[in-house]
C-alpha cells in the first residue's frame, strides 16, 4: 500500500473507501470501516516519499472519500428516477459531483494531516483529529449533511451505540476513526500492538457498559397513550398523480380507522401525507374531524400554502396537530430543508442551466424557524422533526425538552433498502443521545416506535401497507450528551491533539 503510485494508488484508495462503506447499514460490517481507516493511514505514509506529499495525501483522501460516499450513498440516485423525464439526465452528474463534493472534506483532512505527519503513533492521532473535524464540518457547512458519519458504523451493536448517550455521535466518530487508524500500527516489520490493544479494550468497555445499560433500563410506557403510525405505502411517482389522489386519501383514512384491541389515542401520518393542500379541501377537514372525535389527536405532515397579496404564495413542508373535532392545535414548518430537494441553491442561475428541484412545486419551499416543542392535551410535549431534520446531533430539541419526538418522513425517495435503513438508524441514535423516544411514521417504511435507548418496540418493514400500533415509551432523565452537547467532542479533539504533540516530541514511549 505504501509503495503504490499513479492510477494504482488512486484506484486502491477508491476501492478501500468503497469497502469501508460496508460498515454502514444495510451491511453493518464494522471491521471493513476500521480497516478502511487503517488503509488511509498507510496511503498517507506512502505519500511522504513523494515530491509533493501534501498533495499526494489529499489525492488519496479524496479517492478514499469518493469511494466511501459513492457506495454508501448510492441510493441518492433513486430520487432522480421518481420523475425520470425531468431528472434522469442529471444522474451521471450526481454520481460524480455528490460523492466528489463530500470527498473534498476527506481530502482536506488527509492533506492537513500530511502537513504534520511524523513516524509513529503521532500520525494516528493527527489523522484522527483532522478526519473527525472534517466530519463535524460536513455536518454543519452549507446546511450540513452528516449522513454515514463513522459512529454509524456500529449500527450492528446497539450496546456500543449507547455510548452516544455519554458523549454523542461526533465523539463516537472520533473514537471509531482512532480505533481504525491505530490498526495501521500492526503493518510494520515489528508490529506495534499497544495502541490497537488500548483501543480494542476501550470499545470492549463501551460494549460491556452498553449491554449493562440495556439490561437495567426497561422500557416504561406513558399511561393512557396509544399510538397508531400509518404507513400507506404510496409510490412517490403516484403520490400526486390526479387519478390516484382519491385512492391515496382514502387509504390514509381507512388505515386510520382499522379496528384495534386498544383504540389509538394518537394517529400519526407520514410526511406530506395528504395528496393535496388540506386548507383547500373542506371535505377532507370534515373527515379529519370525524377521525379526531372522542379527544383523539391526529398528527400529520402536509404541504402548507401561505397566500400573499404582494407576491407569489409561499409553500412550507409542515406538520399539523389536529385536536378533538378537527381543531388545529399547532402548525410546525420544516426549518432544515434539503438542498436540491426542497430548495435550489443559487436558484436563478441553476434554473438557466435546466436544473430543478426534485419536489414538484414552483420555486423553493420557505424555511421554518424550528425546532419547537408543543404542548398537546393528554400526552407529553412533542417535538416534530420532518424527514432528515432528525439527522443533526444536538439540533433536534426546541425551546424546551420534549417528552417524545415525532419523525414523519417519506423514504420512498431513498430507494428500496439502504437509504431507509440508514435513516432509521439515525433516528435511533437521536433517541439514544437525547434519552427521548421517537415515533417514526414513514410513507413506504420503515415505520417504528423507538424507546429512549434506541430499542424498537414496534415496527412495520419496507414496502408494506399497514399500521404500527403500540404504546408510547416514556423519556428518561437528561443524558450527559443532552446537557453538554458537542462540548464533549471538542474536549476529545483537544486531548487527541495533545497526545499527537507529545508523541511527536518523543515524550511518550511504550
Helix, strand, or coil (residue 442): strand
> Is-catalytic flag, 334?
yes
Tell me the β-bridge partners of 297. Answer: 266
Q: Which residue, chain included where needed, has cell 436563478? A: 348
Specify the DSSP element, H or E, that contains 223: strand 221-231
Cell digits of residue 16: 478501500
**Neighbouring C-beta atoms of residue 276, cutoff 10 Å:** 15
Nearest-5° Cα angle at 155, 423 to 36: 105
What do you get for the CA distance between the two ends of the chain, in Å? 26
Cell digits of residue 52: 509533493
CA dist., res. 505 & res. 510, Å (int)? 14
Query: Could you tell me the CA-to-CA distances from 101 to 50, 106, 107, 395 in Å, in that order?
Result: 25, 10, 10, 24
> Is-catalytic flag, 389?
no
Q: Considering 130, 185, 334, 433, which one is annotated as catalytic?
A: 334
Do 162 and 479 contact (CB within 8 A), yes or no?
Answer: no
- From the CA atom positions of the chain, what is the Rg in Å? 24
CA dist., res. 128 & res. 31, Å (int)? 17
CA dist., res. 405 & res. 397, Å (int)? 9
Do 426 and 390 contact (CB within 8 A), yes or no?
Answer: yes
> Is-catalytic flag, 357?
no
CA dist., res. 385 & res. 405, Å (int)? 7
Do 433 and 393 contact (CB within 8 A), yes or no?
Answer: yes
Q: Considering 130, 135, 387, 434, which one is annotated as catalytic?
A: 387
For residue 446, whether the previous peptide bond is cis, meaning omega lies within 30 degrees of 0, is yes
Q: Which residue, chain included where needed, has cell 463501551? A: 206
CA dist., res. 300 & res. 277, Å (int)? 12
What string of DSSP letters covers 123-159?
A: HHHHHHHHHHHHHHHHTTGGG---TT-GGGGGTT-HH
CB within 8 Å of 304: residues ≥ 6 apart: 277, 279, 315, 316, 317, 318, 320, 331, 333
CA dist., res. 492 & res. 496, Å (int)? 6
Helix, strand, or coil (residue 250): helix
Cell digits of residue 117: 505527519
Cell digits of residue 281: 379541501
Helix, strand, or coil (residue 297): strand
Q: Considering 185, 271, 342, 434, which one is annotated as catalytic?
A: 271
Residues tagged active-site: 271, 334, 387
Amino acid at each position: 500500500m505504501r509503495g503504490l503510485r499513479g492510477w494504482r494508488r488512486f484506484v486502491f484508495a477508491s476501492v478501500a473507501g468503497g469497502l469501508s462503506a460496508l460498515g454502514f447499514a444495510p451491511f453493518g460490517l464494522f471491521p471493513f470501516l476500521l480497516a478502511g481507516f487503517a488503509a488511509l493511514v498507510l496511503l498517507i505514509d506512502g505519500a511522504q516519499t513523494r515530491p509533493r506529499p501534501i498533495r499526494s495525501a489529499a489525492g488519496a483522501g479524496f479517492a478514499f472519500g469518493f469511494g466511501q460516499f459513492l457506495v454508501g450513498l448510492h441510493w441518492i440516485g433513486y430520487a432522480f428516477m421518481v420523475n425520470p423525464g425531468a431528472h434522469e439526465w442529471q444522474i451521471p452528474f450526481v454520481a460524480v459531483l455528490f460523492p466528489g463534493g463530500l470527498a473534498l472534506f476527506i481530502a482536506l483532512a488527509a492533506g492537513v494531516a500530511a502537513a504534520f505527519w511524523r513516524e509513529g503513533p503521532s500520525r494516528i492521532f493527527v489523522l484522527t483529529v483532522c478526519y473527525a473535524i472534517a466530519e463535524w464540518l460536513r455536518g454543519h457547512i452549507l446546511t450540513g449533511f452528516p449522513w454515514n458519519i463513522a459512529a454509524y458504523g456500529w449500527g450492528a451493536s446497539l450496546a456500543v451505540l449507547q455510548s452516544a448517550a455519554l458523549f454523542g455521535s461526533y465523539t463516537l466518530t472520533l473514537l471509531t476513526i482512532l480505533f481504525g487508524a491505530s490498526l495501521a500500527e500492526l503493518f510494520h516489520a515489528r508490529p506495534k500492538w499497544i495502541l490497537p490493544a488500548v483501543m480494542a479494550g476501550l470499545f470492549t468497555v463501551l460494549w460491556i457498559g452498553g449491554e449493562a445499560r440495556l439490561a437495567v433500563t426497561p422500557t416504561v410506557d406513558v399511561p393512557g397513550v396509544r399510538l397508531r403510525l400509518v404507513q400507506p405505502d404510496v409510490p412517490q411517482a403516484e403520490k400526486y398523480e390526479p387519478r390516484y389522489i382519491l385512492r391515496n386519501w382514502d387509504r390514509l383514512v381507512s388505515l386510520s380507522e382499522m379496528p384495534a384491541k386498544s383504540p389509538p389515542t394518537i394517529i400519526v401520518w407520514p410526511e406530506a401525507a395528504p395528496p393535496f393542500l388540506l386548507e383547500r379541501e373542506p371535505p377532507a377537514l370534515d373527515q379529519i374531524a370525524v377521525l379526531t372525535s372522542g379527544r383523539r389527536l391526529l398528527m400529520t405532515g402536509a404541504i402548507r400554502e401561505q397566500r400573499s397579496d404582494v407576491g407569489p404564495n409561499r409553500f412550507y413542508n409542515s406538520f399539523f396537530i389536529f385536536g378533538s373535532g378537527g381543531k388545529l392545535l399547532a402548525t410546525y414548518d420544516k426549518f432544515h430543508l434539503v438542498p436540491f430537494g426542497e430548495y435550489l441553491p443559487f436558484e436563478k442561475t441553476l434554473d438557466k442551466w435546466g436544473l430543478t428541484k426534485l419536489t414538484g412545486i414552483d420555486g423553493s419551499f420557505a424555511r421554518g424557524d424550528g425546532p419547537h416543542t408543543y404542548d398537546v392535551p393528554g400526552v407529553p410535549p412533542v417535538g416534530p422533526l420532518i424527514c432528515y431534520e432528525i439527522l443533526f446531533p444536538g439540533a433536534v430539541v426546541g425551546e424546551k425538552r420534549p417528552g417524545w419526538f415525532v419523525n414523519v418522513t417519506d423514504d420512498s425517495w431513498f430507494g428500496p433498502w439502504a437509504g431507509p435503513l440508514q435513516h432509521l438508524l439515525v433516528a435511533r441514535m437521536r433517541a439514544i443521545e437525547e434519552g427521548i423516544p421517537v415515533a417514526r411514521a414513514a410513507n413506504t417504511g420503515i415505520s417504528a416506535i423507538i424507546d429512549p435507548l434506541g430499542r424498537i418496540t414496534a415496527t412495520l418493514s419496507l414496502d408494506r401497507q399497514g399500521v404500527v400500533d403500540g404504546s408510547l415509551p416514556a423519556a428518561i432523565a437528561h443524558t450527559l450528551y443532552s446537557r453538554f452537547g458537542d462540548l464533549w467532542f471538542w474536549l476529545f479533539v483537544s486531548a487527541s491533539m495533545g497526545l499527537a504533540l507529545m508523541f511527536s516530541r518523543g515524550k511518550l514511549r511504550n
